[in-house]
Amino acid sequence: SLTTPKFSTSRHQIAGISVAELAKQYGTPLYVYDLNVIEQRIADLSQFDVIRYAQKACGNIAILDRMRRRDVVVDAVSCGEIQRALAAGYSPHDHQIVYTADIFDAAALDLVVEHKLHVNCGSPDMISQLGERLPGAEVTLRINPGFGHGHSQKTNTGGEQSKHGIWHTQIDDCLRRADQYGVTVTGLHMHIGSGTDLEHLSEVCEAMERVAMEVGRTITTISAGGGLPVPYSESESYVDLEKYFQLWDSTRNRLSESFGHPVTLEIEPGRYLSAESGFLVAEVRSVKKVGENLFVLLDAGFNDLARPVMYGSHHPISVCSSDGAAVEDRDTVEAVVGGPLCESGDIFTQREGGYVHSRALPMCRVGDFVILENAGAYGFVMASNYNSKTRAAEVLIEHGQAKLIRRRETFEDLIRCEIIPE
Ligand code: LLP
């Protein structure tokens, strides 16, 4: 099982390439992804029959293309994510793309019907809406087992407080509805949030088994959902993947035996595959004292990385000098690291419940680069144009070479959709 890495506050390279060089060539703020890390994470999960990447975590089509070439399939939660998958070369056939949501909007339903995509239904209404347009469809049901987990209330996706999935006592109704519309339930799925608690996991597996027995022999696939954690600090850890797999595998095996046919076991991680591959590189633009607080202000803000302001999430932070030299010999100071936006909450070192928290870092100077680590999941994809900031460029490092996979936005991009009426 993997051990939590040591996070250093000094870094001068990403995947063997100088941070200062990357910043010089592509500008800052800059998202940099290391493909080797993604490959390693895919390899960790090779015991599962199907790895389905939750592209919401990091959906650049170059990343999706590289996933596809490594036999990782995808989920899609919107019309746009279906189109991303198609643009990255995924086939609409063989469940390579599965639409997973709690509703269909009109455009998503049209696209699903056009390509006859497999659907993971998160509400009973989706069964009838799909059945009306595609009688004979096979579907997966996303079950809310009545409890959940998650690093924050906002990311807990099970239990009565969560809008997600089909409530576990309504399976009967759903099967009747499916029958009525000529739809067959061939898969079951549960995604209840992120957590390392394996005792909790055995409850999830029991719930899956119970529901699968209720649906019966039409089931050919079960999905463990996403939610595999990655450590964002030294006090956190990975899940014990061996135990995690064994619990799901034995659930699957019992179902195969009861049904008399093989049952495929899927996993649907987002964060696990992409978080640790990604780095947000920013430049220090001001170092100032405000009362007792030392503020280090970057050219990246919560418009680039929203997790700290949104969930109080911790991201490891490291520093690199402007000429690429090491910063290990500098004094360590307590610094509050923030961005350029017009809100006092634009702080990367905050925690849930308060925003001005400091971090022990090497003394920063204007022109240094600051690297927000583990930013490859829910980083760029949650970026916005708030304060009319253009979104950052993205670079992929592959075989020791940096490749631009998304150019920096321009002012023209910002106003492209806007109209001044006469
Ligand atoms: N499958 C489904 C149906 C999901 O809703 C999600 C995440 C995943 C898979 C992938 O979960 P993961 O393996 O990445 O934990 N923005 C938040 C996370 C929201 C996750 C929502 N659903 C964050 O930055 O932590």
Token reading at 382: 């949650």
Residue that is last in its domain, among 218, 234, 268: 268
Output the pLDDT for position 159. 79
Binding residue ranges for substrate: 271, 307, 311, 343, 378
Supply the CATH number for residue 337's domain: 2.40.37.10
Q: How deeply is 379 buried, as exposed, middle or buried, from its count of CB atoms within 10 A (0-12, 13-18, 19+)?
A: buried
Q: Whose CA is nearest to atom 9 of ligand 1?
A: 226
- CA distance readout (Å), 309 to 72, 262, 360: 31, 45, 19
Number of domains in the chain: 2
150 and 179 share a domain?
A: yes
Q: Residues 300, 372: contact at Cβ < 8 Å?
A: yes
Residue that is last in its domain, among 234, 268, 302: 268
Distance CA 224, CA 206 (A): 12
Q: Whose CA is nearest to atom 20 of ligand 1?
A: 155
Token reading at 23: 């910043």
25 assigned to some structural domain: no
120 and 253 share a domain?
A: yes
327 and 290 share a domain?
A: yes
41 assigned to some structural domain: no
Distance CA 344, CA 214 (A): 52
20 assigned to some structural domain: no
Output the pLDDT for position 196. 66
334 and 200 share a domain?
A: no
378 assigned to some structural domain: yes
262 and 285 share a domain?
A: no
Annotation says 121 is catalytic: no
34 assigned to some structural domain: no
148 and 173 share a domain?
A: yes
- Kindly give the number of the ligand 1 atom that is closest to the alpha carbon of 378: 24
Strands 184-189 and 166-167: unpaired
Q: Is the peptide bond before 308 cis (omega within 30 degrees of 0)?
A: no
Helical spans, DSSP H, in 27-104: 35-44, 61-69, 79-87
DSSP, res 41:
H
Q: What is the DSSP string of 350-410?
A: -BTTBS---EEEEPP-TT-EEEE-S-SSSSGGG---GGGPPPPEEEEEETTEEEEEEPPP-
Q: What angle do CA 81, 157, 102 make, to 5 degrees?
A: 45
Catalytic residue, candidates 79, 174, 342, 364 = 342
38 assigned to some structural domain: no
Q: Residues 38, 274: contact at Cβ < 8 Å?
A: yes
Q: Whose CA is nearest to atom 18 of ligand 1?
A: 155
Q: Whose CA is nearest to atom 23 of ligand 1?
A: 378
256 and 283 share a domain?
A: no
Residue that is last in its domain, among 225, 245, 268: 268
Query: Which of 100, 164, 268 is the pocket-test mutation for ligand 1 (most atoms within 8 Å of CB)?
Result: 268
Distance CA 12, CA 16 (A): 9
15 assigned to some structural domain: no
Distance CA 112, CA 131 (A): 12
120 and 156 share a domain?
A: yes
Output the pLDDT for position 195. 64
Q: Residues 63, 74: contact at Cβ < 8 Å?
A: no
292 and 388 share a domain?
A: yes
Residues within a 6 A CB radius of ligand 1: 54, 57, 100, 155, 157, 191, 194, 225-228, 268-272, 307, 377-378
**Short-list 233, 166, 227, 219, CA closest to 196:** 227
Output the pLDDT for position 77. 98
217 and 303 share a domain?
A: no
Output the pLDDT for position 295. 98
Domain extent at residue 94: 46-268
How far is the centre of ligand 1, averaged over its atoms, from the C-alpha of 269 (Å)? Answer: 8
**Short-list 185, 178, 188, CA closest to 128:** 178
218 assigned to some structural domain: yes
Q: How far apart are the first and last CA of the chain?
A: 64
How far is the centre of ligand 1, averaged over its atoms, from the C-alpha of 249 (Å)? Answer: 22
Output the pLDDT for position 352. 74
Q: Residues 376, 275: contact at Cβ < 8 Å?
A: yes
252 and 294 share a domain?
A: no
Supply the CATH number for residue 90's domain: 3.20.20.10
82 and 125 share a domain?
A: yes
pLDDT in tens, the chain (422 residues): 799 999 999 999 999 999 999 999 999 999 999 999 999 999 999 999 999 999 999 999 999 999 999 999 999 999 999 999 999 999 999 999 999 999 999 999 999 999 999 999 999 999 999 999 999 999 999 999 988 777 776 767 777 888 999 999 999 999 999 999 999 999 999 998 766 677 788 889 999 999 999 999 999 999 999 999 999 999 999 999 999 999 999 999 999 999 999 999 999 999 999 999 999 999 999 999 999 999 999 999 999 999 999 999 999 999 999 998 889 899 999 999 999 999 999 999 998 777 789 999 999 999 999 999 999 999 999 999 999 999 999 999 999 999 999 999 999 999 999 999 99
Cα pseudo-dihedral 330, 335, 337, 342, rounded to 10: -130
